[in-house]
Amino acid sequence: MKVNSHQFFDRIETSRNLPSLPHILLKLIEVCNREDSTVKDMSQIINKDSSLSAKVMKMINSAYYMLPNRVTNIDRALLLLGIDAIKNIAISTSVYQAFSRAKDHSLFNLKVFWSHSLMCATLAKLIAKKTLYTSPDEAFLSGLLHDIGKLVLWVNFTKEYACILESSKDQSDLILAGEARLGATHCQVGAWLINRWNLQSFIADAVLYHHESVDRIQNALPLVKIIYGANILCPEVNTEKDVKFKVTQDILGLAGSEVEEIALQAQGEVSEIAKSLGIEIEPVDVSVKAVSDKDHKKQEELILEVKDISLLQGTLQSLLEAYNEDSILTVVQQGLQVIFDVKHVLFFLYDSERDALAGKGFDKQNDLINEVAIPFQKGNSLLVKSLRQGTPLDSFRDSIKANLAIVDEQIIRLIGKDGILCLPMTAHKQYVGVIVIGMNEARLSHLSERIKLLTMFTKQAALALHANYLRQNQARLIQSQRLTASSTIARKVVHEVNTPLSIVKNYLKILGRKFAVENLGQEEIRVINEEIDRVALMLRKLSDFSEPKVQPTDPLDINALLSDVIKILQESLLLRPNIDVRLNLETLLPTVITDKNSLKQVFINLIKNSIEALPQGGNLYISTRHASNNLGDKVLQDMGGNLGYVEITIRDDGPGIPDTLKSRLFEPFISSKGEGHAGLGLSIVYNIVKELKGTITCKSDSKKGTSFKIVLPIAQTHES
């Protein structure tokens, strides 16, 4: 049969959206959503389906990938594409099929098509091995795709092809004749589709000739013979068993017993594959119109799955756009409320350094949760168990309710509901934290029905938080590297410039002595000397910025130091009368072993920043507090903070820091103050606090202003 109508093939240009069984797509989505899934897991599903395999082969052999050799092996193709591309294929195919409701009635035809294609592929692979064909995987793929043209015709000419199938009564010769009248047979369409992939293979020929006469096949190349024999052995082919075996023996040179053995083995393998995918294969003589209730249910499950995925897309986009931990948690909280109607939520993030779940509050209502830290290794909390097991756990089951830890009961009271549901967050096999949802028992059953979607949502939240953690770590690493580079440059500049400055000053002394007799130029020489001294001072400051020389050896009263700094700034008129300073200094605050001058520089820089943020006046809040280390904080112990730590907060109610600068706030040369500001102040502050073995964090928004929090360990003195 010769096709001379280019217009016909132009009409099937959209053949990329070929349907798959919903059973297959649901299984593939399930595997894709597993955190520990691999390309091999996905391949074991995709290589059983002709539509998905065709998508993969088209993609990997496209000009986009520019591979030196054409790929004819599904496993290798998927490995080259990678997990993200495979997930996109699974989701896009599912979305298209779920919303193509007009073709729902084709489900049974699709199941018959799938089982026949898989049977042909399995037979082809077994025959290839028996006949010592060089590539059994190529034979499998050829068998899987041998009828792909039928799908292409169905998708593009649904009504016309339905009439052909209805009138042909499953007679292959009548189907081929009807297809030819339409414009091309499914053999020609399948070969046309595969030829567009430019494979260095005879796969397209095997597809093209699988309905030719036996006489013509006798002289064909091995792959064509293998697919012809595999197709004729399929149960769906309406030919007597003895005839099938005789044809296969003649064209492939196999004995009758070998052919029968291959047929039985293929039937067993396909049955096992179908069972593993939850597909029931009906007998061949079942009416085409008899679509089972289970199959309808699978289609509905696919539609619900796609709707759930669609619901999450908006939240996923917002998570991708979130720029820090607080904004990510805000998006997660809003997503829980919008998608699941959940209003009572607490977050506990895993702190690897402290080995604890630390409460994370990001608004006034949740501020109290910041005080909560649950030890991980020895903890028997429901939250810890949920994260360890990687499984959602609730407090309503009798076995759990009877063994709740005290901290669990406290959290339930804090959240104000009858119980809690704990959702573990992990990413790339790393602990991220736990989402705690407060609810009444009646609400639990409703959420349990949507636990799959809830788990997908939690996974997205975990990935966003983990990515932010990695991003922040990378930013700190870059900052450290920049400061190291700045230190090297500063030392070189100081060293090189000090020599000529010393020479200039020596010559000025000589000139001063020569002119002293006549009292000439003494004032000018003095001014030049002062300016040179000022340059030297600037160089020393540059060196100090790069490597602050901190020696934390002195017991220091933090409250007294803050009071002194405020007094100095007021007397120097830097602290204007229109700024109201509100001190909240905790009495009996323990002394800290630290460097007084360095810490004074930190306080002056931060307070000056707050003053500059209040040009029209406002409030400056300065507070201190002592937090005891009653949870055995490993980080504080490592820093010598066995007695806890002192927390200093400096806050203003100014306009806040622009979002674009927040993530880079402590990097050198970053400033929001415009020209005349080098952007070094906060870098110096960060470096000094780090040298003092403390931490500094910043929170800022346009409504609440900017708050800097410094935490310094209270180390024991040598005497004690």
Domain termination site, one of 293, 325, 351: 293
Beta bridge partners of 375: 356
* Burial of 566 from C-beta contacts in 10 A (0-12 / 13-18 / 19+): middle
Domain membership of residue 7 (yes or no) is no
The CA-CA-CA angle for residues 605, 607, 611, to 5°, reads 115
In this structure, are 94 and 195 located in the same domain? yes
- In the predicted structure, residue 393 carries a pLDDT above the cut 80: yes
Domain membership of residue 401 (yes or no) is yes
Per-residue model confidence (pLDDT) at position 209: 95
Using left for φ > 0, alpha for ψ between -120 and 50, and beta otherwise, residue 595 falls in beta
In this structure, are 265 and 358 located in the same domain? no
* The two structure tokens encoding residue 72: 């004819």
Please enumerate in sequence order all residues whose Cβ is within 8 A of that of 631, keeping only pairs 6 or more positions apart, or say none: 356, 373, 375
In this structure, are 247 and 391 located in the same domain? no
* pTM summary value: 0.55
Domain membership of residue 719 (yes or no) is no
CA atoms within 13 Å, Cβ hemisphere of 263:
20
Distance in Å from the first CA to the final CA of the chain:
99
pLDDT in tens, 52-72: 888 888 888 877 777 777 888
Antiparallel, parallel or unpaired: β 618-627 and 579-585: parallel
In this structure, are 452 and 518 located in the same domain? no
Highest mean pLDDT: which range of 241-250, 263-272, 451-460, 586-595: 263-272
Strands across the sheet containing 579-585? 579-585, 618-627, 645-652, 705-713, 695-701
In this structure, are 354 and 411 located in the same domain? yes
Query: What share of the chain in percent tops pLDDT 90?
Result: 24
Please give the Cα distance from 266 to 333 (Å, whole number): 52
pLDDT in tens, 267-280: 999 998 888 888 87
pLDDT in tens, 612-646: 888 888 899 999 998 876 444 444 444 444 568 89
In this structure, are 329 and 395 located in the same domain? yes
Per-residue model confidence (pLDDT) at position 287: 46
Domain membership of residue 248 (yes or no) is yes
Question: Which CATH number characterizes residue 256's domain?
Answer: 1.10.3210.10
Please enumerate in sequence order all residues whose Cβ is within 8 A of that of 525, keeping only pairs 6 or more positions apart, or say none: 508, 511, 512, 515
In this structure, are 572 and 507 located in the same domain? no
Question: Which CATH number characterizes residue 645's domain?
Answer: 3.30.565.10
Domain termination site, one of 431, 462, 493: 462
Domain membership of residue 486 (yes or no) is yes
Per-residue model confidence (pLDDT) at position 573: 61
Please give the Cα distance from 367 to 370 (Å, whole number): 6
Q: How confident is the model at residue 189 (pLDDT cuts 50, 70, 90)?
A: very high
In this structure, are 387 and 449 located in the same domain? yes
Task: Provide mean pLDDT across the span 519-536.
Answer: 76
* The two structure tokens encoding residue 704: 């609440």
Per-residue model confidence (pLDDT) at position 388: 92
Per-residue model confidence (pLDDT) at position 156: 84
Based on the structure, what is the number of domains in the chain?
4
Please give the Cα distance from 145 to 210 (Å, whole number): 11
Task: Provide mean pLDDT across the span 586-597.
Answer: 86
Question: Which CATH number characterizes residue 373's domain?
Answer: 3.30.450.40
In this structure, are 92 and 224 located in the same domain? yes
Highest mean pLDDT: which range of 94-103, 135-144, 290-299, 538-547: 135-144
Give 8-11 contacts, CB < 8 A, sequence gap 24+: 8/182, 8/183, 8/184, 9/184, 9/189, 9/192, 11/156, 11/183
Q: How far is CA 253 from the centre of its chain?
A: 54
Domain membership of residue 302 (yes or no) is no
**Cβ contact 218:251 at 8 Å:** yes
3-state secondary structure of 474: helix
In this structure, are 583 and 689 located in the same domain? yes
CA 409, 413, 419, 421 dihedral sign is negative
Domain termination site, one of 293, 316, 337: 293
Domain that holds residue 509: 474-546
In this structure, are 283 and 350 located in the same domain? no
Tell me the helix, strand and coil percentages in the chain, rounded to 5.
Answer: 60, 10, 30
Domain membership of residue 8 (yes or no) is no
In this structure, are 248 and 358 located in the same domain? no
Domain membership of residue 6 (yes or no) is no
Please give the Cα distance from 195 to 192 (Å, whole number): 5
Per-residue model confidence (pLDDT) at position 98: 66
- In the predicted structure, residue 381 carries a pLDDT above the cut 80: yes
Task: Provide mean pLDDT across the span 319-345.
Answer: 84
- In the predicted structure, residue 430 carries a pLDDT above the cut 80: yes
pLDDT in tens, 358-371: 998 765 555 678 77
Highest mean pLDDT: which range of 205-214, 240-249, 339-348, 520-529: 205-214
